[in-house]
Structure 1
Amino acid sequence: MSLGEFELIKQYFQQQSGAPGVALGIGDDCALLTVPLGQQLAVSMDTSIADVHFPADGEPDLIAERALRVNISDLAAMGAEPLWFTLGLTLPDADPQWLQAFSQGLFRVAREYGIALVGGDTTRGKLSITIQVHGAVAEGKALLRSRASEGDQIFVTGPVGDGAAALAVMKQQLSAASMMTDYLMERYYRPQPQVVAGQLLTNFCAAAIDISDGLVADLGHICEQSGVGADLHLERIPLSEAVRQLVSFEQGIDWALSGGDDYQLCFTVPKAQVQQLETLVSTGKIVAHHIGEITAGNGVSCWHNSNPVVPSGKGFQHFGGQEALS
């Protein structure tokens, strides 16, 4: 690399100071962080690899935005407030223009969600991005996958299937008008972590997860960890206007069920608490679509107008299955 590791970090990533809870940030062997009183630390880490999780030739600022946003989505799924993150960046070379744009995109998202970069590492190799996020949630209030019960109602916070539709456009498997293409690229590179929704849901939600691998796969994680089943009503699943115009209902639903990359929240609410959710929806504080219910069985069952349906896909799988951009 033309720049040494420390020079690279100082020039492009040591741009924040005075962030809440940061006693010592970038520049020493460790960051020193103070967790808010009465709250628990929520930690998640994700690695994105070029041409598997994002196109290597994508705009570097958008690659950075996507990498941080999808990690913040994990905090949203726990009902946590984003606080800090670390960055592990592997680069084939230290291209100043690429690094400048990448860091601008990264800090753009950091400012939007009030999350501070407090450390990391750089190395040379195939382009990959590892981000670890840290957030805080009140003790005992975190949203978990393991608390769903029979009779809970299942909701999603917004349209699903857009991520897979965007991928189809990127792989030239689907053509779309420029307006729709712009919308789908925005959904792919700039997914909106449902942070506010997650924090509101801590007051009454039973279980939650963000939709990264497809609705069936991710709801299946809730079912497995809670020891329950789920009935999904496909006619209720929200699809965006772009997906509805571009493809058939069947294709749109297939993308929703198994496409992934949507980063909406899928969550369950006990019947007795549904009124609390409806109040939030009616006052515009949260968006929620009722798509099914938790059952006493196991696994996810899909229904369309009371008829059973077998999904064609299993969702994104990191090993031994489909890869996002292969």
Structure 2
Amino acid sequence: MNEDEIIRLMKGINKFPEESELSFYDDAWAFRTGGQYFTIATDMLVASTDVVKGTGLEYVGRKAMVSSISDLSSKGVRPKYYMISVGLTREIGMKGVKTLARGFSMAIKEYGGYIVGGDTNEADDLSVCVTSFGTSKYPPVRREIGKEGDIIAVTGTFGDAAAGLKIMSNEARDKAYRRKFLRAFLFPKARLAEGVALSRANVLSGCTDSSDGLALSIYNLIDSSEGRDMGVRLDLLPHSEELERFCLKNGLDLSELVLHGGEEYELVAVVKRGRWKTAQGVVEKAGGRLLKIGEVVHDRGVWWRRGNELVKVERRGWRHFVNVR
């Protein structure tokens, strides 16, 4: 049993609606009504599998919100309403619930929108499910790989959050950059302004957000493009200088953290060939940055140009139900 098998099972329950603007395998679902595109995204966080021991509940609440908002960001849609369902243990108590809610409030202040409802239940483990809703006159950006020669770009560096996780799990140490890496892990950013700007400029062939790792995000873009025998060649791995020093100090593989670490919530965008300068310009105007890391090639898979050799990148990242039958 794995996530892909479960998704295929759910897809087969009924015929997919003809009015769908996004595929079943996308980051969100959308339909058009009254001249507007209505987009919905949902994400669930469970403490035992998604939360590191010692993480404050305000960070848990905020991160649950950011996960859902990030999905809408990749579609170029600004969230307007949220429904939040929580499963709460008795041990959390009202004080803990207030702390969790403070995290929800933090996200609302950052990204806007209104909490309009949800559900509560008693549970053996803390769980938070956030469903985000948004409308736009622009069609949502699909999770697709585009055409040969299109540019693969990201809105930031990768691996810092994975470094923060290793520090929190006592698997690595770094006094100099401890605060930077912990903040990357505990306080991720949804690239909403960047996603909206790219969508309105009509410069993308496809887009997704990266919560499960850069490599898996790119494979998701490829797999969502049915019938296209396309792949991606990475010409560089987007990482900070601090991460490089951190890996050297702790004897860690830099490429492992960048490609397979996860938890960044950066956008992985496919920019149309010939539209790079426009894409870069609108993102910078929105207060962000866009880094060119590779391009779409006619060779299925993800390939990394490491020095003079071309290495196939493993399809790995964060996955639930690993080794579960």
TM-score category of the 2 structures, normalised to the smaller one: 0.7 to 0.9
Q: 2:301 aligns with which of 299, 302, 309?
A: 299
Distance 1:242 1:321, change over 3 A: farther
Instruction: Give, in whole Å, the separation in 2 of the partners of 1:132 and 1:149.
Output: 32
Q: For structure 2, which runs of at least 5 residues remain unmatched after alignment?
A: 1-31
Instruction: Give, in whole Å, the separation in 1 of the partners of 2:323 and 2:149.
Output: 33
Distance 1:185 1:313, change over 3 A: farther
Q: 2:78 aligns with which of 64, 81, 102?
A: 81
Amino acid at match of 1:276: T
Instruction: Give, in whole Å, the separation in 2 of the partners of 1:305 and 1:50.
Output: 41
Task: Point out the more displaced range, 56-65 or 155-164.
Answer: 56-65
Distance 1:282 1:86, change over 3 A: closer
Local SS of the residue matching 1:89 = strand
Deviation at 1:242, TM superposition (A): 3.0
Q: 1:69 aligns with which of 62, 66, 76?
A: 66
Match of 2:16 in 1: none
Local SS of the residue matching 1:51 = helix
Aligned pairs for 1:1-326 (under 5 A) are 38-55=35-52, 57-93=54-90, 95-125=93-123, 126-139=125-138, 141-146=139-144, 148-177=146-175, 180-202=177-199, 203=201, 204-226=203-225, 227=228, 228-233=230-235, 236-248=236-248, 251-280=253-282, 285-311=287-313, 314-320=316-322
2:262 and 2:317 in contact (8 A); partners too: yes
Distance 1:103 1:281, change over 3 A: closer
Instruction: Give, in whole Å, the separation in 2 of the partners of 1:180 and 1:250.
Output: 15
Q: For structure 1, which runs of at least 5 residues remain unmatched after alignment?
A: 1-34
Identity, in percent, stands at: 24
Distance 1:144 1:57, change over 3 A: same
Distance 1:207 1:146, change over 3 A: same
Instruction: Give, in whole Å, the separation in 2 of the partners of 1:110 and 1:37.
Output: 27
Distance 1:43 1:275, change over 3 A: same
Distance 1:36 1:104, change over 3 A: farther
Amino acid at match of 2:219: G
What is the TM-score of this pair, normalised by structure 1? 0.81
Instruction: Give, in whole Å, the separation in 1 of the partners of 2:159 and 2:62.
Output: 20
Deviation at 1:208, TM superposition (A): 0.5
Local SS of the residue matching 2:80 = strand
Deviation at 1:56, TM superposition (A): 5.1
Aligned length: 284
Instruction: Give, in whole Å, the separation in 1 of the partners of 2:163 and 2:137.
Output: 37
Deviation at 1:102, TM superposition (A): 1.1
Indicate the RMSD between aligned Cα atoms, in angstroms.
2.2
1:69 and 1:193 in contact (8 A); partners too: yes
Deviation at 1:321, TM superposition (A): 5.6
